[in-house]
Structure 1
Amino acid sequence: MSNHPPIQIPYGHQFIDEADIAAVEAVLRSDYLTQGPAIERFERKVAEYCEARYAVAVSSATAALHLGALALGVKPGDQVYTSPITFVATANCARYCGGEPYWVDIDPATANMSAQNLEGRLTLGDMAEVPMRLIIPVHLAGQPCDMQAIHALAQRFNLSVMEDAAHALGARYRGRPVGCCQYSDLTVFSFHPVKIVTTGEGGVITTNRDDLYQRLLRLRNHGITRDPLYLKNPAHGPWYYEQIELGYNYRMTDIQAALGASQMDKLDQFVRRRRELADRYDQLLKGYPVTPLARSPHAESSWHLYIIRLNLKEIKKTHLQVFKDMRWQGIGVQLHYIPLFLHPYYRNPAIKEEESYKEATRYYAEAMTLPLYYGMTEQQQNRVVEALFQALWS
């Protein structure tokens, strides 16, 4: 049982209106609760928004990452390169396929994967003749990575690219929406309640490749197909289907899809307000011993998160003390994320990974996520900044 005051301002929160409730109610009164027409409507809205040919809805972003890695051919022994500053699902998808995640240190300004460090890692991997397969750049907080540089490296080393855009629905890179797959094979989005758009739980994969699209459709549904183009034997009747590979039950329900389609109608509105609040944080925090993540000149963040780094040399408190003080004041600060190499499951006692990935280690010692969500008021934001003042200087 917690002995600290309750959180009054969370770091994130969903926004549900009457249109969302009506959309879900309509499905509950319909003939289909799953595998019905709401799925295709939702997929079509996401694909059109992202300017992608295809979108495949699944039960979670974790499922999306897993299916994406499978569809791109990750197999036992393959190396998958990603940032250590991400949620564990990004690396776990490699292990689900028998592959091995390799860490790429971050750019200290944006905390995204460093393309320069990626080049170094891939060069070492190429020299060691390890089976390299996939790069998973993570658009931390909603800000796109340097995808042009990452794509160029992928082509040079003959690797696939799957964007982890769990934070980045509504973001743009070099004038186009994240998810258009201009610089990747696949893009994965999350629709968890704290994300910009929610389906409760859920994920979507976008792609422009017909072969990947067809395989993803099968993989989310047990590896089953009814398509005559893929059947191994002639159809025995209208009931006939075949399992032609090992797949999973990663389907999304029509209930979730209806909520997601309704939420998609508000996506631009959601992102616009988040950007307003992020800009306002920038102004309010001027003069504070904190540094917000840098903004890329080639991208527009969707502002899933507002992350600051504490300038600890100027503060007479530790990182932990500031964090605890904010929580004691009812502010639901968070830390995104614990470097993956510090988790016991991924920890390699034979390697001092804190020294190998110095920027990720420094980031973890300084980072803190401040509350940011569509329904947040300016009064609440002022309260967060006042609490931070108290935490830093009282």
Structure 2
Amino acid sequence: MIPYGRQDITDEDIAAVEAVLRSDFLTQGPAVPGFERALASYCGAAHGVAVSSATAALHIACLALKLGPGDRLWTSPNTFVASANCGLYCGAEVDFVDIDPQTYNMSVAALEAKLVKAAAEDRLPKVVIPVHFAGQSCEMREIHALGQRYGFRIIEDASHAVGGRYLGEPIGNCRYSDITVFSFHPVKIITTAEGGMALTNDSKLAEQMERLRSHGITREPATMAWESEGPWYYQQIELGYNFRMTDLQAALGHSQLQRLDDYVARRHSIAARYDEAFEGLPLTVPHQHPDSRSALHLYPIHLTNVAARRQVFEALRSKGVGVNVHYIPVHTQPHYRQLGFRVGDFPASERYYAGAISLPMFPTLTPAQQDEVIATLKGLLA
């Protein structure tokens, strides 16, 4: 089976993890801050806060922005459920903004229209989470301008997008957002096995996210509620969580970071070959916005004949091509239907989902494997 995504682990990665295993620290040692500094520097951000998953990063990012009961969070329906769940974790109300039918990212026009209506009803969001689907940046300059006009904070869910660029600059520099979140799950661009990171240029947000990932505890006398009793002393000054990343994971991520640009370049080569091979077929290949250089975490095609999606999907899998579908619109999930959402609420997301299939896309995909994917799909569509 050719998987839709796969990690690449080298001897250098293994050596980096082994070095931690032979060191004095397996957790809360020097590897985590080293990885944080390296990725923040790569992206051009001031601070990085490494955590146990991108879901954890989204959660503490919302908490650091003071999202809570009575507040509203808006995100895209075309995403994994974590992009919306983080708002529910904080007790906020969650809503969605439909996608652009070309990029499959949050539509700026739909966002603006929804904001105009929400302003009239005094129901503006406190936080908006644009999702950089498949690795391509949302139109962050325009979303940021709307944030300035309507007063909402912005978290970029860049779980797919480490190594991508927007307007010539690295995704993650937070030029147009308060916080950017990355994922390091094994099928993502680089991996820490499980893990995530929140980047920000705001030292106060970084400081709070650091506390929130570790039970809300501080050892810094300057942030304690009263005077420290000695060098052993710590205080829990807010309710936090155990969302820490281990040094083992950070060492793996730091090692992988050295190959990030090569990984993204290889993904672009694979995508270009797919694009050429699929010309003239009854499908749409991923659109690339001129302002963005996607990290190409995914290569989602959209079948013209959406009624054939299940048949094509099952046939590809039966022939050893491990395709997947990204994503089932969040608002159609049972939990969100219980909150009042219905099929038909966000038609562009639903139309995209109806014909979507994610093809294998990972840097170690061989030409022979890609030939097999292409030939199998062409045979089915013929």
Corresponding residue for residue 260 of structure 2 = 267
Q: Percent identity?
A: 52
Mapped to 1, the partners of 2:135 and 2:126 lie a distance apart of 25
Mapped to 2, the partners of 1:267 and 1:228 lie a distance apart of 38
Mapped to 1, the partners of 2:133 and 2:176 lie a distance apart of 17
Q: Does 1:386 align with 2:381?
A: no
One of 352, 357, 366 as aligned partner of 1:377: 366
Corresponding residue for residue 38 of structure 1 = 31
Corresponding residue for residue 3 of structure 1 = none
Query: Do the aligned partners of 1:341 and 1:348 also contact (CA within 8 Å) in 2?
Result: no
One of 89, 94, 110 as aligned partner of 1:101: 94
Corresponding residue for residue 136 of structure 1 = 129
1:222-259 Cα offsets, whole Å, 9 max, x none, are: 00111122111111110011111000010000000000
Mapped to 1, the partners of 2:263 and 2:166 lie a distance apart of 18
Query: Do the aligned partners of 1:77 and 1:131 also contact (CA within 8 Å) in 2?
Result: no
Corresponding residue for residue 291 of structure 2 = 298
Matches within 5 A, 1:1-394: 8-130=1-123, 132-312=125-305, 318-347=308-337, 353-393=342-382
Mapped to 1, the partners of 2:339 and 2:305 lie a distance apart of 28
Mapped to 1, the partners of 2:294 and 2:311 lie a distance apart of 30
- The alignment yields a C-alpha RMSD, in angstroms, of 1.1
1:49-94 Cα offsets, whole Å, 9 max, x none, are: 1000000000000000000010011101211111000000000000
Residue ranges of structure 1 left out of the alignment (5+ in a row): 1-7
Mapped to 1, the partners of 2:73 and 2:60 lie a distance apart of 14
- What is the CA-CA distance between 1:390 and the residue it aligns to? 2.1
Mapped to 2, the partners of 1:71 and 1:178 lie a distance apart of 21
1:369–1:239 distance in 2 versus 1, CA, 3 Å:
same
Query: Do the aligned partners of 2:73 and 2:129 also contact (CA within 8 Å) in 1?
Result: yes
With normalisation by structure 2, the TM-score equals: 0.98
Mapped to 2, the partners of 1:372 and 1:33 lie a distance apart of 32
- What is the CA-CA distance between 1:355 and the residue it aligns to? 2.7
1:240–1:132 distance in 2 versus 1, CA, 3 Å:
same
Mapped to 2, the partners of 1:131 and 1:153 lie a distance apart of 12
1:129-187 Cα offsets, whole Å, 9 max, x none, are: 12521000000000000001100111111000000000000000001100000000000
Mapped to 1, the partners of 2:184 and 2:352 lie a distance apart of 26
More off after superposition, 304-313 vs 105-114 = 304-313
Aligned-partner SS, 1:345: helix
Aligned-partner SS, 1:107: coil
Aligned-partner SS, 2:321: coil
Query: Do the aligned partners of 1:53 and 1:208 also contact (CA within 8 Å) in 2?
Result: yes
Mapped to 1, the partners of 2:195 and 2:20 lie a distance apart of 17
1:244-293 Cα offsets, whole Å, 9 max, x none, are: 10000100000000000000011011111011111111111111111012
Query: Do the aligned partners of 1:57 and 1:205 also contact (CA within 8 Å) in 2?
Result: yes
Mapped to 2, the partners of 1:349 and 1:297 lie a distance apart of 37
- What is the CA-CA distance between 1:349 and the residue it aligns to? 8.3
Query: Do the aligned partners of 2:115 and 2:124 also contact (CA within 8 Å) in 1?
Result: no
- Give every structure 1 segment of 4 or more consecutive aligned residues whose post-TM-superposition deviation is greater than 3 Å: 348-351
- What is the CA-CA distance between 1:348 and the residue it aligns to? 5.0
Mapped to 2, the partners of 1:77 and 1:108 lie a distance apart of 32
Mapped to 1, the partners of 2:339 and 2:134 lie a distance apart of 30
Mapped to 2, the partners of 1:366 and 1:36 lie a distance apart of 47
Amino acid at match of 1:136: I
Count of matched residue positions in the alignment of Structure 1 and Structure 2: 382
Query: Do the aligned partners of 2:124 and 2:150 also contact (CA within 8 Å) in 1?
Result: no
Mapped to 2, the partners of 1:131 and 1:249 lie a distance apart of 32
1:84-141 Cα offsets, whole Å, 9 max, x none, are: 0000000000000001211100000010000110111122222211252100000000
